[in-house]
Structure 1
């Protein structure tokens, strides 16, 4: 009886540990995704659009990523509107990059 109880406790403990490990692993994967997206959003390039598209077409994260892109684009467009004709080319490139990324995840 004692041996069965000890075995049962060990089994429950190992299951709880495995579940905790899976949660940590998922959290780490999401953290890595967010970091990769932050870099991709701030670095206009074809590779960056691919990174955004890879994560943005995943139905679990689509809404979050699309919302992030829309908010970034709103900020860039606000800066462009405030600067008018003197707008920095870097802002124009970033706005085009964000539009491209949005179109890419919306069409896939």
Structure 2
């Protein structure tokens, strides 16, 4: 190997995409979290996978919110539900 960097493979690009979306979901308050999800989610090659991921995250958050009796937890899950709905709406509309 000569030490030259080669272009990332498709597998590497998908891995980077998954990691970026995972970070956005873990930190929805980050300034570019929604834009990160929208950037990848509006790519027709990945739309179905990302939308399915978001829907599953939404179902989990809604279930946790319904089961939470602590108002602090309810608020946290409510914020997550709102973010996920917004992300799904964003990729659906673009």
Structure 2 length-normalised TM: 0.83
- Unmatched 5+ stretches in structure 2: 1-5
Gapped runs of 5+ residues in structure 1?
1-20
Cα RMSD of the aligned pairs, angstroms, is: 1.8
Aligned to 1:75: 60
Higher helix share: 1
**Residues 1:92 and 2:78 are matched in the alignment:** yes
Normalising by structure 1, what TM-score?
A: 0.73
Question: Residues 20-99 of structure 1 correspond to what in structure 2 (within 5 A)?
Answer: 25-45=9-29, 46-84=31-69, 86=71, 88=73, 89-99=75-85
Q: In 1, distance between residues paired with 2:52 and 2:69?
A: 25
Q: Equivalents in 1 of 2:25, 2:70: separation in Å?
A: 24
Distance in 2 separating the partners of 1:71 and 1:87: 23
Between 1:38-47 and 1:97-106, the stretch displaced more is: 38-47
Larger Rg: 1
Deviation at 1:86, TM superposition (A): 3.0
How many residues align? The count is: 87
Q: 1:33 Cα shift?
A: 0.4
